[in-house]
Chains A and B, each alone.
Chain A
Amino acid sequence: EAGVAQSPRYKIIEKRQSVAFWCNPISGHATLYWYQQILGQGPKLLIQFQNNGVVDDSQLPKDRFSAERLKGVDSTLKIQPAKLEDSAVYLCASRAGTDSYEQYFGPGTRLTVT
């Protein structure tokens, strides 16, 4: 079974530029999460999708971050414009459904904003 795929693995941009990350969850997984992991901290939930609907985006900075999950499969997370404090690893995770409590994480995208 293929795991959660993310791309790119690394990205360096200047502040005020825009960037997009892509995630392809495990096939058949209904729930998809985007997390932000700042160096030295645990992952912080940004947004959660159930199929193609948003379940929780309360911690997503909506003035600059957006995410979508078209057709309930892969997802993109965008930052526009980026700030220095957005430097972090962006992790995507998926979960089979509400009766399964295991999350499977992708390798992450390390973003550096200069």
Chain B
Amino acid sequence: AQSVTQLDSQVPVFEEAPVELRCNYSSSVSVYLFWYVQYPNQGLQLLLKYLSGSTLVESINGFEAEFNKSQTSFHLRKPSVHISDTAEYFCAVYTSGTYKYIFGTGTRLKVLA
């Protein structure tokens, strides 16, 4: 069965410092990978996705994630975080043929001034 592991439940980081949020998945078939961000009292918003092609994908607000098939990982990184990046981040896997998404338990990013 497919699963997604986000080992870090909380990540505190100072403003303008770099951050990496880790995501590992397990699947025996090809997958599509996603990062979603959830601000308080809001639904999830798609941050970035990997479907195919370049293994490095970027978002418009400076986040990037790299698909590593051999390590079954899709870690999210940002070189310099802002206070406004404080939110919960969810990694998700979509397995072709199942039509469904499996979400990790989330990582709460807290950016400190």
Contact = CB atoms under 8 A, between A and B. Distances in A.
A45 B99 CA distance: 11
A43 interface: yes
Contact of B90 (A33, A42, A50, A106): A42
Contacts of A33: 101
Interface string B1-40: 0001000010000000000000000000000101010000
A112 interface: no
Contact of A101 (B36, B42, B43, B51): B51
B59 interface: no
Interface of A: 4, 31, 33, 40-45, 48, 50, 55-56, 91, 93, 98, 101-108, 110
Interface of B: 4, 9, 32, 34, 36, 41-46, 49, 51, 90, 92, 94, 99-101, 103-106
Contact of B44 (A43, A44, A56): A43
Nearest to A104: B46
A111 to B, nearest CB: 14
A42 B46 contact: no
A101 to B, nearest CB: 5
Contacts, number: 54
B94 A91 contact: no
Contacts of A50: 99
Contacts of A102: 46, 49
**Shortest beta-carbon contacts, A-B, top 3:** A42-B103, A105-B43, A105-B44
Given A41-B105, A43-B44, A101 B94 contact: yes
B99 A55 contact: yes
A26 B90 CA distance: 22
A101 B9 CA distance: 26
A42 B104 contact: yes
Contacts of A44: 103
29 contacts: A31-B99, A33-B101, A40-B106, A41-B106, A42-B92, A42-B105, A43-B44, A43-B90, A45-B100, A48-B99, A48-B100, A55-B99, A91-B43, A93-B43, A93-B44, A101-B32, A101-B51, A101-B94, A102-B46, A102-B49, A103-B44, A103-B46, A104-B46, A105-B36, A105-B43, A106-B43, A107-B41, A107-B43, A110-B41
